[in-house]
Amino acid sequence: MNPPLGAPLPAGPGLLLGREHDLSRVTDLLHTGCWLVTLRGPGGINKTALALYLAQWVQAMYGHVQFVDLSALRDPGEVLNAIAAQLPLSANEGDPGRLIREFTAQTRTLLILDNFEHLLPAALHLAELKTGEGTLQIVVTSRAALGLHDEHEHPVGPLALPEGVLHAASSPAVQLFVRRVQALRPSFELGAGNTPDVIRLCELLEGGAAGAGTRCCPPAQLRPA
């Protein structure tokens, strides 16, 4: 049977810097049959981008991969409805938990549930989706763990910082920082004059250099090298 046609995955981040270890660990968890993997970490650390990249990476393992953005949902009681609404179900009347179980029993499915942190009471509803067949696997992104006993948490940490100025250009944290600054100031380049400042800023951002574009403005001392 051909896999059902669902909504295409949203475009990923394009380039994912320095997340090889995260990708490999979560892929291993899925390969070994983990039912629920939570990518846990603070906002802006890279959870959504990692989940999207992962979805593309493992897509061939599944008949269907569904990305569901839960950020706008306010009621934990609506989580299963939100998931069912995204799946290419042949019928959509009735209990959403039953509809999802029926779908996933027939089609090996990976659900990516993005932004779960404000819906933690809905973890109990996710548990209702688990069946003996093991044909459903779920990856959740959240600032907090869901607290289910068979959940595998994968903490998403800061990008690695450079060992010293000589290694700055090859450090993922610095590379991301430079890309974010260049998005605001295209003439910016990493050079001998500004590398120590860049490293210091990456340290202050705890390697979460995504914030360079969103949490602060490029400081005046970041002049072109």
Smallest distance from the beta carbon of 159 to ligand ADP, in angstroms? 6
The reply to whether 83 sits near ligand ADP by the rule CB under 6 A is no
What does R_g of the chain's alpha carbons equal in angstroms? 20
Enumerate residues 165-224 that contact ligand ADP by CB under 6 A.
172, 176, 210
13 vs 76, which CB is nearer to ligand ADP? 13
Enumerate the β-bridge partners of residue 68.
113
185 Cβ contact list (under 8 Å, min separation 6): 218, 222, 224
Smallest distance from the beta carbon of 110 to Mg ion, in angstroms? 17
Residue whose Cβ sits closest to ligand ADP: 210
The reply to whether 138 sits near ligand ADP by the rule CB under 6 A is no
**Cα gap 112→139, rounded to integer Å:** 5
Q: Which stretch binds Mg ion (CB under 5 A): 16-24, 45-53, 59-67, 182-190?
A: 45-53
**Cα gap 154→178, rounded to integer Å:** 27
**Cα gap 54→13, rounded to integer Å:** 11
Cα 111 versus chain centre, distance: 12
The reply to whether 144 sits near ligand ADP by the rule CB under 6 A is no
**Which residues contact Mg ion (rule: CB under 5 A)?**
48
**Which residues contact ligand ADP (rule: CB under 6 A)?**
13, 15-19, 41, 43-49, 141, 159, 172, 176, 210
